[in-house]
Amino acid sequence: MNTPGKNHIGRNINRLRELKGIKQDALAQAIGVSQQTISNIENSETVEEAKLELIANELGVSVEAIKNFNEESVISYINNFYDNSINHGPLHNFSCTFNPLDKLVEAYEENKKLYERLIEELRKR
């Protein structure tokens, strides 16, 4: 079982792999081992550094990210990201800041003026 104060590296690999939607077979093939080896790694509290580097590279994370992975932190980050992305801050403001109907009427009026100018030009010829 997980020693208090120490991360279970295999379990961290498992969770990161699952979060990324990568199957054990795919990860195994990518690093040149069997699916059973990945299963054994994910059940191991420690993982040799060379294998850990290969796995980190395939998962697109750093070795430190695997070693320090904390599911509660990830869930908190995701929840805060989505909570703060709606109507908060200039980069994540997805709400409409104008009345679309007003813009439609403005466009209609502008087109009407252009049409009238076109007709006037044609009459002059």
Q: What is the pLDDT along the chain (125 residues), one digit of tens a residue?
A: 444 446 899 999 999 899 888 999 999 999 999 999 999 999 999 999 999 999 999 998 889 889 988 877 666 666 665 555 454 444 444 555 667 777 788 888 888 898 888 998 889 88
| Domain formed by 9-85, architecture | Orthogonal Bundle (1.10)
The CA-atom distances, in angstroms, between 114 and each of 85, 101, 103, 117, 121 are 40, 20, 16, 5, 11
pLDDT at 80: 65
Report yes or no: 67 and 11 within 8 Å, Cβ to Cβ: no
Q: One-letter amino acid identity for 103?
A: K
**Nearest residue to 9 via CA among 67, 73, 57:** 67
